[in-house]
Structure 1
Amino acid sequence: MQAYVYKSLRKQDTYVYLSKRDDFAILPEPVRAPLGDLVFVLEFTLSPERRLARAEAAVVMANLQSQGFHLQFPPTQPDPMVDG
């Protein structure tokens, strides 16, 4: 399965994966509007075995198949008292 990744220029470290290149019409307006402009950053073949930095491939694939898109939000800030 091909995945097309776009970076939000308005929301730092927020990415949108699409199942079809430049198919922004698939995004519901309440999802699309806060993201602002989206810039293409990457195309790759997604498989269940593929390791992704901040998401599980199976989850991304399921979202792409069911909705046509997947949102990747920035990681939460670690608590230095707990994680440090």
Structure 2
Amino acid sequence: MLVYVYKSSRKADTYLYVLKRDDFSPVPEALMTTFGHPNFVMILPLSKRDHLGVVDKQKLSNELNDKGFYLQLPPPTENLLKQHVQQQNDKHR
């Protein structure tokens, strides 16, 4: 299976995977508005890849088959202040 990967023009580290190049018809209009202009990144042959970095290959395949697209969001940013406060609270217990 070939997958076409696009990077968001509006959201950092956000990618959209579709089954047909430049075919965003399965993607909801509201999502496309938020995503912005899709910038083509690569063609990804899933059958030749065992590992996909931060994307779970099985989840990607399932969502492509069920919805016709997969949205990869960036991992949540660390809240360093919250971590520091938690560490301070732990020290004082």
Per the normalisation by structure 2, the TM-score is 0.79
Map of 1:14 onto structure 2: 14
Q: 1:24 is paired with a residue of what secondary structure?
A: coil
Contact 1:3–1:18 (CA<8 Å) still a contact in 2? Answer: yes
Larger helix percent: 2
What amino acid is the match of 1:19?
L
What amino acid is the match of 1:62?
N
Q: Does 1:42 align with 2:51?
A: no
Q: Does 1:74 align with 2:74?
A: yes
Per the normalisation by structure 1, the TM-score is 0.87
Q: 1:25 is paired with a residue of what secondary structure?
A: coil
Q: 1:50 Cα deviation (Å)?
A: 2.0
Looking at structure 1, the residues matched to 37 and 75 of structure 2 have their Cα atoms a distance apart, in angstroms, of: 21
Task: Report how many aligned residue pairs link the two structures.
Answer: 82
Runs of at least 5 residues in structure 2 that lack an aligned partner in the other structure: 85-93
1:30-70 deviation per Cα after TM superposition (whole angstroms, max 9, x unaligned): 21110110110010111396211111000000011111100
- Give the CA RMSD over aligned residues: 1.9
Bigger radius of gyration, 1 or 2? 2
After superposition, the Cα gap between the structure-2 partners of 1:32 and 1:26, relative to the gap in structure 1 and judged at 3 Å, is same
Question: Where in structure 1 do 4 or more consecutive aligned residues deviate above 6 Å?
Answer: none
Contact 1:47–1:57 (CA<8 Å) still a contact in 2? Answer: no
Runs of at least 5 residues in structure 1 that lack an aligned partner in the other structure: none
Q: 1:75 Cα deviation (Å)?
A: 1.0
Q: 1:10 Cα deviation (Å)?
A: 0.5
Contact 1:48–1:58 (CA<8 Å) still a contact in 2? Answer: no
